Amino acid sequence: MRMSIFCSGLFLCVLLGACAAPVKRYAPASGLLEVEGLDSLLQLDRSLITIIDVRPATDFRLGHIPGAVNIWRPALADEHFSYSSITAPRHKLEAEFGRLGIRADRPVVVYDGQMNADAANLWWIFQLAGKADVQLLAGGLKAWEAARLPLETDTLALAATVFQFPGKGDSSHYASLSSVLLALNDPDVVLLDTRTEDEYTGLKVKAGAKKGGHIPGSILLNYTDATCERDGCTQLKSIATLQAMFADKGITKDKKIICYCHSGVRSAHTTFVLSALLGYPSVRNYDGSWEEWSQSDSLPFVTGNQPLMPIFP
């Protein structure tokens, strides 16, 4: 069976009976599905899985993977905050997924149009809520297009469902502001800033942040460093290359890792890479990230080479 060589997660192996061999580029159960594997599943039976396109609706309507439903960031955010970086509560997410016709008992494949940061953010949200049978499409939409696989422009209207997350959820990948505060002086915790260097130094301040800079003691490693170096490439680097890259920064498996970015989206991608691909046992994504941290004048921050600001001035 052609599709068996592309199974990259246990849930797809179950769907298809058995997987004769692991995925081409990544370890089994890595959380990644190659485009050929998804194409084979679609040819077999679209109803086997739910495909979620995490892009603005205008982009979705220009072309998307056949059978995909569309969701974008505002639907995943908690509207009770003045900034957009806090994830929506469970009941809002369940209502949104039900409105889209997503079924809780079907495996999910997610993708976006860039480097899968938004897709990884949705993967992370599903993990928090206890739905583990979720995979990222390796390389996202760009890899699908590069393989010359079909797109469609019709909007799929699924019948609404009553969506409920299984169980009580799993908070092991979640970090709050208080979690980060406790980690500031903990040598066993690595704070990992996954933004650009200009954001890290404070030279660039994105909309929603009150000021620029970074959390004291955090290590800078742009999330895009995990992808291949060719222009326009959205595929992740090999496992060996990724392992060496993080180890070179002192980000090792014996440490507890807290990732953050501007709003928790890019850092969700790094959380995915470290936990789902590299098997790091303790990786958390700071939900509010810099957008939340920058709001308070009492929290410490660093800009460029300036000294640390006191926690309680």
Q: How far is CA 9 from the centre of its chain?
A: 17
Q: Is the dihedral of CA 148, 153, 154, 158 positive or negative?
A: positive
Tokens of 236: 């992740």
Measured from the Cβ of residue 255, the count of other Cβ atoms closer than 10 Å reads 18
Strand 256-260 to 219-220 pairing? unpaired
Active-site residue (options: 7, 19, 259, 261) = 261
Q: Respond yes or no: is residue 233 known to be catalytic.
A: no
Task: State the amino acid at position 209 in one-letter form.
Answer: A
Tokens of 259: 């990732």
Q: Which residues are catalytic?
A: 261
